[in-house]
Amino acid sequence: MLPTPKKFKITAGAAEGKTKLTAFDNALLNAGIGNVNLVRISSILPPGALQDQDLVLPFGSLVPTAYGSIACDEPGTQIAAAVGVGLSRDTFGVIMEYSGKCSKKDAEEKILMMLEESFAGRGLELVRTEVCSVEHTVKKIGCALAAVVLWY
């Protein structure tokens, strides 16, 4: 059985690269999570998990992460990525992620709408939200990424 994470960090980054994969890697580095191995998770923040924006992740660690990203090779295109955490009063939280050819503001609005819908669907009261986002105008090949990393 895997342990339940006790901490989380919300981050975002954008960058250019010579390929879509290296643009993604550079966006990870820009977000401060480029030297770990992301293990993609779905959308539940464990009960009692505390936000730690100073969280230091050991190099090479397997890190549970909910993220949205977009890589694009159309110069001049505006891309954005956002993540949001919705918290209830006394139970678990919900994480939503989004990325697309849009503005940062549009991505943030989509996140807030999805958080509201996810809490309504669970019959929970949404008492607090936190959103992190980034936008990028593609020069040659760009990537925008937003993530919630969980840790022990």
Domain membership of residue 44 (yes or no) is: yes
Q: In which order are the strands placed within the sheet that holds 7-16?
A: 37-40, 62-72, 142-151, 7-16, 50-51
Taking the model in full, what pTM does it have? 0.95
pLDDT at 2: 85
pLDDT averaged per 10 residues in sequence order, the chain, 152 residues: 94 98 98 98 95 97 98 98 96 97 98 98 97 98 98 96
CATH number at residue 58: 3.50.20.10
Domain membership of residue 2 (yes or no) is: no
- Based on the residue annotation, tell me whether 103 is a catalytic residue of this protein: no
pLDDT at 116: 98
In the chain, the number of structural domains is 1
- Based on the residue annotation, tell me whether 88 is a catalytic residue of this protein: no
Cα–Cα dist 102/99, whole Å: 8
Active-site hit among 43, 61, 88, 103: 43
Q: Which residue has the tokens 């669970």?
A: 122
pLDDT over 90, % of the chain: 97
Cα–Cα dist 143/73, whole Å: 9
Cα–Cα dist 91/80, whole Å: 30
Domain membership of residue 70 (yes or no) is: yes
- Based on the residue annotation, tell me whether 26 is a catalytic residue of this protein: no
pLDDT 10s digits, 82-105? 999 999 998 999 999 999 999 999
Domain membership of residue 118 (yes or no) is: yes
Active-site hit among 35, 37, 74, 117: 37
**Domain housing 87:** 7-151
Domain membership of residue 81 (yes or no) is: yes
